[in-house]
């Protein structure tokens, strides 16, 4: 599979200076973590789940979570598990590439049981999403993933969800983060990424952000995101990929504030695209995606197919970013020993040592999302991506 693989080759050739690379479930973990992109969640109770997965793959989705936890009622769990087994069997007969598939479970025992029940269709399973992760609660989940791996001889990843009240509350946050760091370090080879459960954070205080506000406007949530990245997202080799929070809205609501998309990037034919994005509350999503990346997050939890194209379009590396990152790492490879380089775009300085980690992350993102053409901006990428998307 590859990002933007659903676009015609001539469209990709026009948009990209360097096209996204192909990858699959067997690719190295750091590359897969960067490639997750917009991870689309779907309740495991959906009767046409297999057809939904195939359809979304055709629209550019590369990772999905099939949920047995909060998205379904407690009484529906046994039927959802049975449906999941049936749908995986149907997917095993499907043609064409499928997204990376993960199952969000409730209890550790579901991991080993489902891995067994899926039978040969288990080859389509990339791993499990682990809810309300803390050290005490999370270690049994991670041990169950390891047990399933050993029992079936198949690599299975874990994606812990950081959403517990202990992580939110100030008096327990530092200790909870330290415990999560210990638990994930013990199973580093199978922890693909850490996911933020911002809806649960808001729930603890009876909050819900409006569609014209981002998670970063809710200060109690923003403080947790900052601390999670501080402890668990470091670029010194100890950190993990941390994905962005869910955007809850996909239909127009009454606005209190002005739209957040400037007119100038959408001048001309793209003005219609701007109107559609605003009409469907996408301007807030676009701003939050930019803030995610500025705060050290990569990828995003999504609950509606219309969110996928914006996440992926804004994950593409610009030609300017690529040029800067490549120049920095070339200087490192040449043994320059540091110093300052003038950007080839002549609009900034690039300090080799301080910007090295950024450059490495940028080139990894360029590998999976591609590099935009020199004169191609996010509007062109977004326009090409949303054609045919569900809005």
CA–CA distance, 253 with 300 (Å, rounded to integer)? 22
The superfamily CATH assigns to domain 24-315 is Phosphoenolpyruvate-binding domains (3.20.20.60)
Whole-structure pTM value? 0.91
pLDDT at 388: 43
The answer to whether 12 touches 358, Cβ cutoff 8 Å, is no
pLDDT at 390: 43
Q: Where in the chain is the domain with CATH 3.20.20.60?
A: 24-315
pLDDT at 257: 53
pLDDT at 383: 82
pLDDT at 338: 76
DSSP string, 190-231: GB--EEE-HHHHHHTTT----TTS-GGGSHHHHHHHHHHHHH
pLDDT at 248: 86
pLDDT at 139: 98
Residues of the chain with confidence (pLDDT) below 70: 251-281, 336, 387-391
3-state SS assignment for residue 259: coil
3-state SS assignment for residue 11: helix
The answer to whether 177 touches 167, Cβ cutoff 8 Å, is yes
* Beta pairing class for 63-67 and 16-18: unpaired
The answer to whether 289 touches 310, Cβ cutoff 8 Å, is yes
pLDDT at 159: 98
Task: Count the residues in the chain.
Answer: 391
Q: What letter would DSSP give residue 121?
A: G
């Amino acid at each position: 599979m590859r990002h933007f693989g659903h676009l015609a080759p001539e469209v990709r050739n026009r948009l990209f200076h360097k096209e996204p690379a192909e990858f699959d479930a067997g690719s190295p973990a750091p590359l897969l973590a960067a490639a997750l992109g917009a991870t689309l969640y779907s309740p495991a109770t959906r009767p046409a789940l297999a057809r939904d997965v195939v359809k979304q793959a055709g629209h550019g989705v590369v990772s999905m979570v099939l949920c047995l936890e909060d998205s379904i009622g407690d009484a529906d769990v046994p039927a959802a598990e049975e449906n999941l087994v049936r749908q995986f069997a149907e997917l095993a007969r499907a043609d064409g590439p499928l997204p990376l598939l993960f199952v969000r479970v409730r209890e550790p025992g579901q991991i080993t049981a489902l891995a067994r029940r899926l039978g040969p269709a288990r080859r389509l399973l990339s791993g499990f999403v682990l809810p309300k992760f803390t050290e005490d609660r999370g270690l049994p989940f991670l041990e169950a993933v390891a047990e399933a791996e050993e029992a079936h001889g198949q690599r299975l990843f874990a994606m812990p969800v950081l959403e517990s009240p202990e992580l939110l509350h100030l008096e327990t946050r530092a200790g909870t983060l330290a415990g999560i760091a210990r638990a994930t370090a013990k199973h580093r080879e199978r922890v693909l990424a850490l996911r933020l459960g911002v809806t649960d954070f808001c729930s603890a205080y009876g909050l819900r952000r409006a569609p014209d506000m981002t998670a970063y406007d809710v200060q109690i949530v923003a403080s947790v995101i900052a601390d999670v990245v501080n402890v668990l997202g470091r670029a010194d080799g100890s950190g993990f990929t941390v994905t962005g929070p869910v955007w809850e809205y996909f239909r127009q609501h009454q606005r209190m504030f002005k739209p957040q998309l400037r007119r100038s990037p959408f001048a001309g034919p793209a003005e219609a695209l701007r109107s559609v994005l605003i009409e469907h509350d996408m301007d807030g999503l676009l701003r939050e995606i930019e803030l995610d990346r500025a705060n050290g997050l990569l990828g995003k939890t999504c609950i509606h197919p219309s969110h996928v194209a914006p996440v992926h379009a804004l994950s593409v590396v610009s030609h300017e970013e690529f040029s800067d990152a490549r120049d920095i790492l070339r200087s490192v490879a040449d043994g320059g020993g540091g110093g300052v380089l003038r950007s080839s775009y002549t609009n900034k300085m690039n300090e080799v040592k301080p910007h090295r980690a950024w450059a490495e992350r940028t080139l990894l993102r360029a590998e999976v999302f591609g590099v935009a053409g020199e004169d191609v901006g996010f509007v062109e990428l977004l326009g090409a991506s949303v054609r045919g998307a569900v809005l």
